[in-house]
Structure 1
Amino acid sequence: MRDRKQEAFRQGRDRAEGEQGTKSGPGFLVDFRRRPDWVEGNPNIWELDVRGSHNEYSVIVGALSSQLDVLIQRLPEPNAERQGVMFGRTLVEVILPPDIRRLCGETLLLALVYRVLAAPAGSPYNQGQSFADADLSRPVAATKADKVANERRKEALLRQFEFDMAEGRSLSQQF
């Protein structure tokens, strides 16, 4: 049955139509409805209730109707940790540090993330936490070990850059 459902999705026979409905994802069902605060001319604002056999969570997302099916297929399965949590999918701008800006010539990096809008008491998710697109198991915020490793990499790149400039050579291929 699951293979037949995925085949229907690939052939376009399982599309989101109308204001609300139910779609199936890999291992879960999704009840979707267009939010009433949607403004004509903007992408639709959808509220997705993702239900498994025992658990449920919600996602609010701005997307075109044609993108909704792909989005549903990429959602993670409900589990006990996500029970009752409401996520919002959003685009965030990350300001790069000055030394990285100097190296790459960019100031901002755009990232698509899921942000926790609400979480029940006792949940491992905290309001305001951000997670990578469709990977709700590891927060985007770097751990202390990640920060130390990134700092070491950055220092090594800067040392190599300074060495190449002092020797009058062209920049390393890393740059």
Structure 2
Amino acid sequence: MDTLTLLLLAIMPMLVIVGGLNDLTTMRIPNWISLALIAGFLPAAVSVGLSPVEIGVHMAVAFGALLVGMGMFALRWIGGGDAKLMAAACLWLGLQGSGMFLVYTGLMGGLFCLFLIMARAQLRPYLMGGPGWVVHLMEPRGDIPYGVAIAAGALLAYPASPLLALFIVG
């Protein structure tokens, strides 16, 4: 049972990494990633012994994150895939982990943006012969694949998730 639980708990880190890499290389986060995160949550939550009330709290946090993400999308601050990935990550992180997730995501997003600004200014000429996604990423004033920051924030906050805490204690 512990091996199965461990495999279920690995769903979240694996999928947010795939989402971040996909956003980095294509500027898109496919819906299947967020849907797979949502589908994987309940088996993982039940496997570690999360109560129905705790599962409800996780769902409420995710719904709140989705509403905030929709507002950010409407303001053109983030993409739709970013909003969905953020909400799906909050589903896994719950109330305890989501605060740290938002802090880490903001910090990683700021660092990533600074890196891109410097890379676009200093390295662009050297990278123009690279793969298409690198050339696109180096476009001055181009979009920023914020899924990278969301993935990093989720990975950094995951240890604060009640799912991991229950797995370690149980």
TM-score, normalised relative to structure 1: 0.30
More strand by share: 1
Q: Which has the larger radius of gyration?
A: 1
Higher helix share: 2
